[in-house]
């Protein structure tokens, strides 16, 4: 794979999708539900995925697309080059707020992430990372994450999880503060940039995390599932991503055995 050429084209496709989404965000579009009433999909999500599918087919016929809105159904392994795409991560935010959502793309070669992008569409923040080359925000290299004590940490998770887990409630009492942004991709990018110190989720798909996890790796963070196992980019799983120092303390606080 000519990595530089693939990155160049991926950037162009994302810019094209960003322009399209910005045009559509304040117009009328179709909205439907998937697994439940809160799991939304719009015509915009579907159109962005179709755009990527068309561009990849034209330029990289040997590559495959694993997208949230249907193309994932044909992907059962990560052999060769696979583009893992969430056309709009944070669709509820897109529909209700018109902001705080992202295009998330991870490009994998033989099961390994080689490039990742999380684009905060409306704020034009490009979080990018190339394997072995570091992570960047709008072209500025992100520094390696500095240790943070748990009592000074800002931790993100869906507040619904707290209602089900007493250990998470104890974490809330320990840390400096908690947040929930409604976009896993953005929250991963924020951990990589040091804006958050940890992000926990109990139900994410590969396209939710594929763009952001390489950002975490390239800034020295840790991203595993809730059991401390390597992430699975073919199935839905839990996620525990954090600054290394916070990861260690949270692991102990949550009684996670690794």
Q: What is the C-alpha to C-alpha distance for residues 224 and 177, in angstroms, rounded to an integer?
A: 22
Among residues 222, 232, 56, 218, the alpha carbon closest in space to that of 130 is found at: 218
Instruction: Tell me if 230 sits within 8 A of 223, measured CB to CB.
Output: no
Q: Is 89 annotated as a binding residue?
A: yes
Q: Is 109 annotated as a binding residue?
A: no
Q: Is 86 annotated as a binding residue?
A: yes
Q: Is 208 annotated as a binding residue?
A: yes
**In the sheet where 134-137 sits, what is the strand order?**
64-67, 81-89, 102-109, 112-120, 125-130, 134-137, 140-141
Instruction: Tell me if 115 sits within 8 A of 7, measured CB to CB.
Output: yes
Q: What is each CA distance from 246 to 196, 202, 224, in whole angstroms?
A: 10, 18, 13
The number of residues making up the chain comes to 258
Q: What is the C-alpha to C-alpha distance for residues 56 and 83, in angstroms, rounded to an integer?
A: 9
Instruction: Tell me if 116 sits within 8 A of 233, measured CB to CB.
Output: no
Pick out the residues of the known binding site for Mg(2+): 68, 86, 88-89, 208
Pick out the residues of the known binding site: 68, 86, 88-89, 208
């Amino acid at each position: 794979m000519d990595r530089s050429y693939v990155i160049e084209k991926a950037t162009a496709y994302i810019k094209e999708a960003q322009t399209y989404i910005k045009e559509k965000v304040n117009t009328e579009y179709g909205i439907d539900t998937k697994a439940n009433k809160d799991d939304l999909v719009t015509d915009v999500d579907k159109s962005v995925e179709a755009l990527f599918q068309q561009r990849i087919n034209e330029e990289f016929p040997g590559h495959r697309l694993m997208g949230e809105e249907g193309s994932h159904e044909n992907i059962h392994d990560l052999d060769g080059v696979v583009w893992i795409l969430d056309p709009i991560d944070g669709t509820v935010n897109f529909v209700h707020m018109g902001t705080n959502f992202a295009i998330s793309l991870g490009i994998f070669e033989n099961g390994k992430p080689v490039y990742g992008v999380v684009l905060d569409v409306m704020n034009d923040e490009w979080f990018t990372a190339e394997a072995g080359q570091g992570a960047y925000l709008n072209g500025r290299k992100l520094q390696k994450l500095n240790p943070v004590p748990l009592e000074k940490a800002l931790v993100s998770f869906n507040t619904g999880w707290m209602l089900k887990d007493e250990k998470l409630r104890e974490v809330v009492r320990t840390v400096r503060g908690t947040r929930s942004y409604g976009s896993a991709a953005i929250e991963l990018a924020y951990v990589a940039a040091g804006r958050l110190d940890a992000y926990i989720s109990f139900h994410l798909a590969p396209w939710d995390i594929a763009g952001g996890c390489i950002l975490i790796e390239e800034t020295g963070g840790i991203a595993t599932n809730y059991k401390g196992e390597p992430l699975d980019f073919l199935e839905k799983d839990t996620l525990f991503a954090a600054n290394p120092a916070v990861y260690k303390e949270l692991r102990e606080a949550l009684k996670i055995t690794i």
